[in-house]
Amino acid sequence: MRPNPTLRTLCAAALLALLPHAAMPADDPTTDDPFQWLEEVQGDRALAWVRERNAETLKELRARPDFEPTRGTMLSILNSKDRIPAVRRIGDRLYNLWQDGTHKRGLWRRTTLAEYRGAAPAWETVLDLDALGAAENENWVWGGAECLGPDDRRCLVSLSRGGADAVVVREFDLVDKAFVRDGFVLPEAKSDLSWIDADHVYVGTDFGPGTMSAAGYPRQVKRWRRGTPLSAAETVFEARPEDVYASVSVDPTPGLARTVFTRAVDFYHQQRFLLQDGKLVPVDVPEDARFTFMHSAGRRGDTLLLELRSDLEAGGKRYPAGALLAADAPAYLAGKRDFQVLFEPSATRSLTGFTTTRSHVLLNILDNVAGRVEEWRRGTDGRFVRRAVRAPSPGTFALASLHDPLRRSDPLAEQYLMSYSDFLTPDTLFLGRTGSDRRATLKTLPAAFDATGMRAEQLFATSRDGTRVPYFVVWPRGARADGDNPTLLYGYGGFRIPLDPWYSRAFGAVWNARGGVFVVANIRGGGEFGPRWHQAALREHKQRSYDDFIAVAEDLIARRITRPERLGIEGGSNGGLLVGAVMVQRPELFNAVVCQVPLLDMKRYHKLLAGASWMAEYGDPDNPADWAFISKYSPYQNLHADQKYPRALFATSTRDDRVHPGHARKMAARMLAQGHPVLYYENIEGGHGGAADNEQRATLQAVEFSYLWQQLGARP
């Protein structure tokens, strides 16, 4: 999977927690799928098959002379002390989860901003995950914390067994640095908790039969009082059985406190309700729009920010999909529709995220997949004034506000963190202040490889329907377009997630540095050009993603950057579906396929774990009209014994309770049964990320890179 740059705090989290593993009967006589028994995640027969495949793969790849050096390089990078600690502000401190060779599962630790600015911050350990796991005989993996402001002493800490999305939740005291005796505790499940006050929380979890959606998310929200059993919690909101989930968001800002309940109709559409005087009042916003409230001091300090996913007609005006609008919040809730446009998309520009300080909105913009930053300052009249921020270019930014709206006097109210990187420039983390282009450099990631003589360029391919598709090429030192470069093409193309430039120490150190060309395709289905780019490859149009990816591959060959024998492809999750579909459709174009934690059986994906939540992206296979287009690209159903395919590597995790490991298992099993050689590797832990600690990550990456060099070969 693509490594995340420092500070991905603006990216909206996808729906990630899922149903407990459901056992499937072996050799079910009601199905025509002879490999459905591999869907039994913890079944003895299925795990025996997994261990046999793992042993075969590791025996072959470990015999290569580059395996252990690659694993050593990866482990050194992952455990290096010079990484930039990703931080989150809680109260007056900055918190970080740190993993290295000594602390494999991690230290949750904290420091001050003043210390963090120094070369060697003094970190205070708050919770040692390795020690906790050893004491409790559990394989705990950090799942995050939700803390109660403004004193930020009590937190709801989530712990995952082996990296799964399902978590155990326990109340934790940041002063005592210990779990609270008789505090709030939830058993393992896909759960969502929000503080109301010190003695009450809203909770969504598995309350018993009928309380979880078909996708495996809570569909009930209850109000739970401290000291009472969970069974006594009062139901305050409920989604319909066919919905994806129910959730709640609590904004405790003094004088502007609001509680919003959400009913997710599907992955992209939600109905929101505002709690007013004990009653739920519908919020009149488009179901596919994102909205948030921005608070600051002053009479006009309450603003509603509305990010559109589709066109909006309001107040006699039309606002395009992808726009960001601002309105006076009380006036909007009263029915007035007076918007100020803070961002309007164009053919090349899209909004990839935004964050707010006390009086500014910071926009993270992509222009032809190159990052730009703008800030909008709110005046005393409630109107905003734009200012372009001078910053490095043309790479990728991530922004995170340090403002705490619960503090009336906040010294960090107008400060924010900004990270910048591109394919050849290591991440730099800055401390910025609104209204100024001056910023302090907090941390710089040391180079993991020598980029001298390397270059990155943006090219365009023409897809089947004439659409221009951009892609990036990262050239190793001395490479030229001679048609003989080992080349790895990476893609995703779904859920409006953009693939903008990032600095990958792994790809740079063990791929580019050894003479490999790295290519990133910005295909439809992603978010590189806003909602229109994503929606162009939804449902019945999903094939456009695959056509775009194929067009990039063909363009690489036509430009003599590589040839099919030297071309490999890689993708994970939805990207695993991408490379699986493309491998089946155009096998002659490739000689290597790294298919990570993939969806592959699109006839049953909606019945496996969180799959039902993604039908807005792919369609419903049980609907004949939808299956008519899904069936044309579903990789598992389109395998043929008489076709020649590149030898693929399928990688997944037993503990992935988001995308079912049965997808990868069954695909590999069917290919083997048809006589196609494949490699398969399944980490027993790791969740959807594929690994639970750095040693597991290093082994997984060594498997993948050793396989790629084996298939594509080094340059003479």
CA 73/CA 250 separation, integer angstroms: 44
At 388 the pLDDT is: 96
Q: What is the mean pLDDT of the chain?
A: 92
Q: Say yes or no to pLDDT of 46 above 90.
A: yes
At 655 the pLDDT is: 84
At 18 the pLDDT is: 26
CA 521/CA 567 separation, integer angstroms: 14
pLDDT digits (tens, 9 = 90+) for 626-675: 999 999 999 999 999 999 999 999 999 998 888 999 999 999 999 999 99
At 693 the pLDDT is: 82
Q: Say yes or no to pLDDT of 6 above 50.
A: no
pLDDT digits (tens, 9 = 90+) for 107-136: 999 999 999 999 999 999 999 999 999 999
Report which of residues 665 and 688 the model is more confident about: 665
pLDDT digits (tens, 9 = 90+) for 406-444: 988 899 999 999 999 999 999 999 999 999 999 999 999
- List beta partners, residue 432: 416, 439
Q: Per-residue confidence at 690, pLDDT binned at 50, 70, 90? A: low
CB atoms within 10 A of CB 313: 9
Report which of residues 276 and 685 the model is more confident about: 276
User: What residues have CB less than 8 Å from 278, skipping those under 6 apart?
Assistant: none
Q: Say yes or no to pLDDT of 686 above 60.
A: no
Q: Say yes or no to pLDDT of 290 above 70.
A: yes
Alpha helices by DSSP H, 4-128: 44-62, 67-79, 113-116
Share of the chain above pLDDT 70, in %: 93
Q: Per-residue confidence at 22, pLDDT binned at 50, 70, 90? A: very low
Count Cβ atoms within 10 A of the Cβ of residue 212 and give its class: 0-12 exposed, 13-18 middle, 19 or more buried. buried
Amino acid at 126: V
Q: Say yes or no to pLDDT of 188 above 60.
A: yes
Average pLDDT over residues 62-82: 95
At 12 the pLDDT is: 31
Residues annotated catalytic, as ranges? 573, 688
Closest CA to 497 of 519, 530, 463: 530
User: What residues have CB less than 8 Å from 552, skipping those under 6 apart?
Assistant: 461, 469, 471, 489, 491, 519, 521, 523
At 24 the pLDDT is: 31
Write the CA distances from 615 to 37, 267, 342, 620, integer angstroms.
24, 8, 32, 6
All structural domains of the chain: 55-76+448-600+677-712 (3.40.50.1820), 311-446 (2.130.10.120)
Tokens of 647: 């030898």
CA 291/CA 298 separation, integer angstroms: 21
Count Cβ atoms within 10 A of the Cβ of residue 13 and give its class: 0-12 exposed, 13-18 middle, 19 or more buried. exposed
Q: Say yes or no to pLDDT of 302 above 70.
A: yes
Closest CA to 200 of 135, 257, 156: 156
pLDDT digits (tens, 9 = 90+) for 205-246: 999 999 999 999 999 999 999 999 999 999 999 999 999 999
pLDDT digits (tens, 9 = 90+) for 93-103: 999 999 998 99
At 255 the pLDDT is: 84
The HSE-up count of residue 716 (CA atoms within 13 Å, CB side) is 2
Alpha helices by DSSP H, 7-152: 44-62, 67-79, 113-116, 129-136
At 331 the pLDDT is: 95
Q: Say yes or no to pLDDT of 527 above 50.
A: yes
CB atoms within 10 A of CB 18: 27
At 301 the pLDDT is: 67
User: What residues have CB less than 8 Å from 437, skipping those under 6 apart?
Assistant: 389, 390, 391
Q: Per-residue confidence at 296, pLDDT binned at 50, 70, 90? A: low
Count Cβ atoms within 10 A of the Cβ of residue 178 and give its class: 0-12 exposed, 13-18 middle, 19 or more buried. exposed
3-state SS, one letter per residue, for 671-706: HHHCCCCEEEEEECCCHHHCCCCHHHHHHHHHHHHH
CA 628/CA 513 separation, integer angstroms: 45
At 2 the pLDDT is: 37
Kindly report the length of the chain: 716
User: CB of 85 within 8 A of CB of 104?
Assistant: no
Q: Say yes or no to pLDDT of 477 above 70.
A: yes
Q: Say yes or no to pLDDT of 687 above 90.
A: no
Q: Say yes or no to pLDDT of 498 above 80.
A: yes
Rg (CA), the chain: 25
At 26 the pLDDT is: 33
Q: Per-residue confidence at 692, pLDDT binned at 50, 70, 90? A: low
